[in-house]
Structures are given as C-alpha cells and as structure tokens.
Amino acid sequence: MARKDAKSKKNTKSKKYKKNYGAVLLLDSLGTKGSWKGKNADSVLANWELLVETFKENFVPRGKEWNSTYKMFAFSDTIIFVVNSKNIQDLLMATAFAAKMLVAGAMAIDIYLRGCISIGEFYESPNMILGPAIDEAAQYYEKGDWIGVFTCPSAYGGLTRLQSESPDMFRGAFVKYNVPMKSGKPYNTFAIELDNDFETWKSYVKMTMIEYAHDKLEHSDDVDGIEKWKNTLDFLYVLNPKNYKEN
C-alpha cells in the first residue's frame, strides 16, 4: 500500500509541470554584481523597478497583437523572459520587440544587457522553468562581447526558414550579423536591431544610442568594458550608416 501511495504522489508531482513551446530570451546584466558598492540600494532597486514596470506597460498591448503571452523571471544579474504563441512568426516578433525594449530601456537608466534568444520546448511549474530551450539559451547568453541580443541555433533556423519564404518578414526586428564573441571568433547569426532614438525611453536619456555608446567608449575607465562598447558602437553604425558618414 505504501508503494502505491508513493507512486501516486510521484505522478501528482509530475503533473505540476506544464509543457510549452515558445521563445526564451535570456539576458545577463553586465556589472550588476558590483553595482551595490558605492551606490544607494534604493537607487539600484528603483532603476530595476522602473525598467520592469515601463516595459510591462508597453509590451502587454503589443503582445496581444501577436497573440502572445509572457512570463518574466529575475535572479541577481539574470533575466529570463519566456514568450508563448501558437504562431512562430508572432512568437519571434514578440520576442524581438521585448528584447529591443529591454536593452534600450536598461541602457537609458545605465543598466547594460546582453543575451540570446532560443526557441523550443520547456517545462514550467509555479517555482521553476527548465527544458531544452532554457538549456540552449544558457549555453550562449554570456558569450557575446557587446551590449545586445543574438539568436541561438534554434531561433536562427526558424528565422532562416521563414525569411526564405518572405525576405522582409522581420525587417526592423532581426538583422544578419557577425556578432562579436568573448572567444574572439565572430558568430554569424541574427541580431536584434536596436533603435538609435531609444523610442519609448526618450525621456530618460538626452542623446541617441550612438552618442551614448560614444560617450561610454570615450570616458570609461573600465578596461574590460571598453571592447564591449566598441563592438556595440560598430553594430549601431551598421544599423545607421548615415550617422557614420555624418560623424
């Protein structure tokens, strides 16, 4: 009888995990671990609250347009953003919009994010999220040597297939790019396009994203961070070639 009860309990536990198919946006906040030193804790927390709340206000209405739902998890310097949608095009567009908003918004309040996007299966419970799509993203999200977001092989495959059917399907969201990596070897994949004017976050920063990157590059005393800003600036000029000619 005891064996039967134990087996029943095990089956009940396994049913608490919901199997989903979607996109995973995994982000690493650069320098967060040291941000508590010399800064008021309230200020650090207020910036994070501002980022999350402003993001939610702007993403939720757009997410409905793409028939998508999302969940966000945060731990220390890591953000996990999960998007669900039955349509892969909607799924990728919603995730791209989320990535653009979070990277730009974070930069506007001096938080710097890098990361990656994977698509595939994952399992959720009230307390955790795990599975193949999470594992794939976890292998890549800290490898980029810049501020930005790129696609893992799973997302790259989906984008390539859809773009072969309609080349302009993801214009303004994803761009093919040799992403700078910490290994020193560029990674040929898709990257999330960033808006030079900060869009939703204009009121928080009085310069363009290119000007912001220039300022960081020219005035930073962080030797380890210099290369990341240089690589970010190079990417922004690829997205905005006219600005390069004018500077």
Residue 196 burial (CB count, 10 A): 18
247 pLDDT higher than 50: no
Residue 222 structure tokens:
């962080």
- What's the whole-number mean pLDDT along residues 2-25? 67
112 within 8 A of 85, measured Cβ to Cβ: no
Which of 83-92, 143-152, 163-172, 219-228 holds the top average pLDDT? Answer: 143-152
- What's the whole-number mean pLDDT along residues 119-138? 91
**pLDDT (tens digit per residue) in 149-183:** 999 999 999 999 999 989 899 999 999 999 999 99
Tell which phi-psi region holds residue 67, choosing left (phi > 0), alpha (psi between -120 and 50) or beta.
left
Q: Give the pTM.
A: 0.88
Pairwise pLDDT comparison (88 vs 44), residue with the higher score: 88
- What's the whole-number mean pLDDT along residues 138-144? 97
Q: How confident is the model at residue 222 (pLDDT cuts 50, 70, 90)?
A: confident
d(C-alpha 241, C-alpha 216), whole Å: 20
Q: How far apart are the first and last CA of the chain?
A: 78
d(C-alpha 174, C-alpha 126), whole Å: 32
Which domains can be identified in the chain, with CATH numbers? 18-240 (3.30.70.1230)
22 within 8 A of 86, measured Cβ to Cβ: no
- What's the whole-number mean pLDDT along residues 210-232? 89
